[in-house]
Amino acid sequence: MQQLQIASPAFPSAGPVAFGVLAAAGLLGVYFGILSLVSGWAFTVSQFAEFGYYVVALAAGFGVQVALFVRLRRLLARHATPAVVATTGATSTAAMVSCCAHYLVNVAPVLGATGLVTLAAQYQVEFFWVGLAMNAAGIVYIGSKLLRAQRDHAACAPT
């Protein structure tokens, strides 16, 4: 059975796994970039040492979603909506950044957001769990769509 492959113009031969790895690495880059800008490199490293397992899990979950989405999109060879990937990616990023949001209290009065930053800092672990739950929901959703598309594709394929 021949599979229909659609190459991306930017990465003509990259597979779904490569896109997933790039997405996870990009999300980690956003984490380190934002926290380093706000809090400095030493603080970012200390926070990663404390909450790294959450951060890596969030990035890995996002990478899995991107890989599944790329595989689904290639299988369908149609325009598929990336809304679920974008939503869970934003949730993962927010959860990662929330781990160091309490450091923003130093500048928050200028922004008028002290209460919000304090809330984010107080519930940072809970935000991680929400992000992980959103990742899991996204993986299940995209995975179910991929399984359905693979079944439908197999049923329509000539024998």
pLDDT digits (tens, 9 = 90+) for 86-121: 555 565 556 555 554 544 444 445 445 455 556 667
pLDDT confidence of residue 117: 55
Structural domain includes residue 10: no
Structural domain includes residue 123: yes
Q: Which residue's structure tokens are 């996002």?
A: 62
The residue ranking higher by pLDDT, 75 or 55, is: 55
Structural domain includes residue 47: yes
For residue 151 the two structure tokens come to 């079944």
Q: Which of 66, 60, 88 is nearest to 16 (CA)?
A: 66
Count of structural domains within the chain: 1
Q: Residue 84: how many CA atoms within 13 Å on its side-chain side?
A: 24
pLDDT confidence of residue 67: 92
Q: Please compute the mean of the pLDDT values over residues 17-27 and round it to a whole number.
A: 94
The residue ranking higher by pLDDT, 91 or 31, is: 31
pLDDT confidence of residue 2: 43
Structural domain span for residue 132 = 17-156
pTM, full prediction: 0.67
Q: Tens digit of pLDDT for each residue in 34-74?
A: 889 888 899 899 989 999 999 999 999 999 999 998 888 88
DSSP state of 10: S
Structural domain includes residue 2: no
